[in-house]
Amino acid sequence: MLQQNVVLTLCKIIVNPETRMKKKKTYQKFSKHWFFNYLIVTLGAFILAAGYVLFITPHKIVPGGIYGVSIIIHYLTKGVFSWAPEGLPVGTMGLILDIPITLIGLKILGPHFGIKNFFGLVMTSIFIDTLTLFWGYKPLVENDVLLSSVFGGVLFGVGLGLIFKAKGATGGTDTIAMIIAKNTRLPLGQLLIYVDSAVVLLGLVAFGDWRVPLYSWIVIFITGKVIDGILQGFSYDKTVFIISDKYEEIRKKILFDLDRGGTFLLAEGMYGGKKKKVIYTNINRRELGILIGYIKEIDPDAFVTVINANEIIGHGFKPMKDG
C-alpha cells in the first residue's frame, strides 16, 4: 500500500502541469548536471552501504537513523522466520520504514527533493542487501569494535556528505534533519547528532548493553564532523587581516611577489581613534609563511590575524560554478 502511495505521488508530480512548469525553471532533466547529481547520490549510497555491511552491522552498533532501527529489528528477529534465519534484511527493513518519512519530506521539501531522496534510499537499501549477500555478516576488522566505529563513521560521513552535496538524502533521520535545517541555521551534521541519539538509546533498550550506545555515539560524532567537512570543504586557504603603518610596502609584496590581490579596509583604532588601513587578502597555506616572513622584515610591530577559510570562490581560487 505504501509503495502504491509513493508511485501515485510521483505520478502526480510528473503529470501536474504547475509542477512541470516549476521544474522547467529550476531543474533541467537529463542534463549533464542532472546525471552528475544522480551519479554522486549513487556513489554516496554505495559508500554508506559499505560502512554498514563492513563495519557497523556485524558489531551490533546502532548509529541512529532508520537503518539503525533496521539493525535492531534484524537482530531481534534472528531465528524467528525460516526464510530469514539471520534476521530480517537491514536494507529491506530500512526501505519499508523510510517510505512514510519520504512522503513527508516530499510534501515539505518539494518534488525535486522527493524524487532524489526516493532514489537515494532505494539505492542504499539495494547496496546494503547486495553487499550483505556477497559479504555476509562478518566484520572486516575482527574483535576491534572501536576501529570499526571510527572507519564506519568515516564512510557514513563521506557517503552522506556526497548525497547531501547533490541535494539528496537517504530518507529517515537525515530527511528529518534536512527539514529542520531548512527552517534553522543549524549545520546538518549537528542536527543528525541530536536526532540520531534517540535511536541510539533505543539500541540500549533492545540489547541491554551500554557498549552499544557508547560505540554508536562515536560513529555519530565522526559522521557529523565528516559531513560538515564534505559540505563546507576541507580547505587549506587562509584569510588574512593585516594592520600596519607600512601597509604600502606590504601591499607591494602581496601584489608583485605573491601575485595575489587584496582590499584596503578603512578602520579606526578603538584606543586612540587613529585612522588606519587594514589589508584584507586571501592566500594559501604555503604563501602564508612567505607573507609572514615579509611582514617581519617590513614591520615587526604589525598586527596580523589569520583565519581558516572553508571555501574561497573567485579568481585565483575555486572557480564560480552554477548549481
pLDDT for residue 9: 44
| C-alpha to C-alpha distance for 79 and 11, rounded to whole angstroms | 39
Residues across the chain: 323
pLDDT for residue 320: 66
210-267: pLDDT as tens digits: 999 999 999 988 988 898 888 776 667 889 999 999 999 999 999 998 889 999 999 9
In the predicted model, residues of the chain with pLDDT beneath 70 are 1-28, 30, 109-114, 169, 171, 174, 188-189, 192, 233-235, 316, 318, 320-323
pLDDT for residue 189: 66
Helices (H), the chain: 2-15, 17-26, 32-51, 65-76, 90-109, 111-135, 145-165, 173-183, 188-207, 211-232, 247-252, 285-298
pLDDT for residue 142: 87
85-95: pLDDT as tens digits: 889 999 999 99
Element at 266 (helix H, strand E):
strand 263-268
| C-alpha to C-alpha distance for 172 and 102, rounded to whole angstroms | 7
